[in-house]
Amino acid sequence: MIETIQWTTEGVVMIDQTRIPAEETYVTCRDYHQVADAIRSMVIRGAPAIGVAAAMGVAIGVAKADPANLDAKVDAICAELAGTRPTAVNLFWAIDRMKKLYGELRHLPHAEISEALIREAILVREEDIAINRAMGQHGAPLIPDGGIVLTHCNAGALATAGYGTALGVIRAAVESGKKIGVYADETRPFLQGARLTVWELQHDGIPATLITDNMAGHFLHAGKIACVVVGADRIAANGDVANKIGTYSVAVLAKENNVPFYVAAPVSTLDLTLADGSGIPIEERAGAEVTHVFGVQVAPTGTDVKNPAFDVTPNRYVTAIITERGVARAPYETSLRELARNGK
Ligand code: MRU
């Protein structure tokens, strides 16, 4: 099994996703600043995985803090972690969960607070794996046997604590005996599809074919793709979905070609405070990710660059949203609220 992130006595250990597939190396974060740096620099990435990292970041921050003025220190720890990446709501969900627990325990001795927060962060990780397996059970029946599934970015074990969301649905379908192949969009500019999704699928022996992003329309039109399954970074109350840049194009092309477009995401990815996707903050990353490929300059010096890391797919392109509590379909205003209520 791929171990994306773990709590150890040394610190928070993460597989370095900037090095895969060239190397399988691990980074140990020994304080919360290092956890924040790892999130910012994409050593760890993917919405649920950065949620787990943030929870562990709060735990290590409190454990290492001098107990004097702990309330202010917890605020500073949470603020630094929250400032790392703006789009994936799981990050804020995890920080809020840790902060709420701290609020309940703040009158206790420092050692007890810190032990409880460590236990909670480990629980966030364990729950995430269980959630992904449940999502897989709900999603697997939607995947046609013998078909090719197109996916974008990496919504796999590496993007979560384990098993994956979109790739979790694919894994569950394969485990149920279906013969499935995956077409992976390479996902420019950061190449999560080429580097991470293909690596992960090879790891599990699931047939994977790499295509560049601009080939997806060709294969959808040619009738090669049975369905599309992607993850999400934030889903608004009306079912608009923020996910890796390029997802919107795939969704439009899927609808044009009558191919189902599924989104797999945990309930913690829902942001019901936003009526629609227009309020989702979109991270703008460094231009060098576009002008350079692995340090090699591919555009003239001084090129003007735009590099939004995510886009928003309007709900009309989304066939269904697969969660750990079941599958939501339009109208999403009611089906998503219903799912959110189910766990309460
Ligand atoms: O910039 P990244 O690599 O963090 O973006 C990741 C994605 O867009 C994933 O599709 C999303 O977080 C879902 S991961 C289960």
Task: Write the CATH number of the domain with boundaries 138-342.
Answer: 3.40.50.10470
Residues with CB under 6 A from ligand 1: 45-48, 88, 153, 155, 159-160, 165, 192, 231-233, 243-244, 309
Does residue 196 have a pLDDT over 70? yes
Q: Is 233 a catalytic site residue?
A: yes
Mean pLDDT throughout 142-151? 98
* pLDDT tens digits, 59-78: 999 999 999 999 999 999 99
Burial class for 326, CB neighbours closer than 10 Å (0-12, 13-18, 19+): middle
pLDDT at 184: 98
Amino acid at 45: R
Q: What mean pLDDT comes out for the span 290-315?
A: 97
What tokens does 36 get? 């924040």
Sign of CA dihedral 124, 283, 312, 4: negative
Quote the CA–CA distance of 4 and 313 in Å, as a whole number. Answer: 28
Mutate to test the pocket of ligand 1, among 128, 243, 322 (most ligand atoms within 8 A of CB): 243
Average pLDDT over residues 126-140: 98
State yes or no: pLDDT of 159 exceeds 60: yes
**Tens of pLDDT along 219-242?**
999 999 999 999 999 999 999 999
Ligand 1 centroid to 51 CA: how many Å? 12
Q: How far is the CA of 110 from the centre of ligand 1 (A)?
A: 35
Average pLDDT of the residues of the chain:
97
pLDDT, average across residues 134-145: 98
With beta carbons less than 8 A apart as the criterion, state whether 313 and 295 touch: no
Residue 169's Cβ-count burial label (10 Å; 0-12, 13-18, 19+) is: buried
Give the sign of the dihedral formed by CA 78, CA 32, CA 102, CA 161: positive
Grade residue 342 by pLDDT with cuts at 50, 70 and 90.
confident
CA distance 247 to 46: 14
CA 58, CA 53: separation in Å to the nearest integer? Answer: 9
Which residue's CA is minimally distant from atom 10 of ligand 1? 231
Q: 128, 185, 233, 240: which one is catalytic?
A: 233
* C-alpha 158 to ligand 1 mean position (Å): 10
Which ranges of the chain would DSSP assign to H, the alpha helix?
A: 32-40, 47-64, 70-82, 89-105, 110-139, 166-175, 192, 198-204, 216-221, 247-256, 288-291, 332-342
Domain boundaries, the chain: 5-133, 138-342
Confidence at residue 18, expressed as pLDDT on a 0 to 100 scale: 97
81-97 pLDDT, tens per residue? 999 999 999 999 999 99
Task: Answer whether 0.85 is exceeded by the pTM.
Answer: yes
* Probe target for ligand 1 pocket from 39, 90, 151, 153, with the most ligand atoms within 8 Å of CB: 153
pLDDT at 343 over 60: yes
The gap from C-alpha 139 to its chain's centroid, in whole angstroms, comes to 17
**Domain 5-133 matches domain 138-342 at the CATH topology level:** no
> Separation of 254 CA from ligand 1 center, angstroms?
20
**Higher confidence at residue 343 or residue 312?**
312
pLDDT reported for residue 344: 52
Evaluate if residue 331 carries a pLDDT over 90.
yes
Q: What's the pLDDT at 294?
A: 87
**pLDDT reported for residue 1:** 82
Considering only the top CATH level, what class is 5-133?
Answer: mainly alpha
Q: Which atom of ligand 1 is nearest to the CA of 153?
A: 10
Task: Tell me the chain's radius of gyration from C-alpha atoms.
Answer: 20
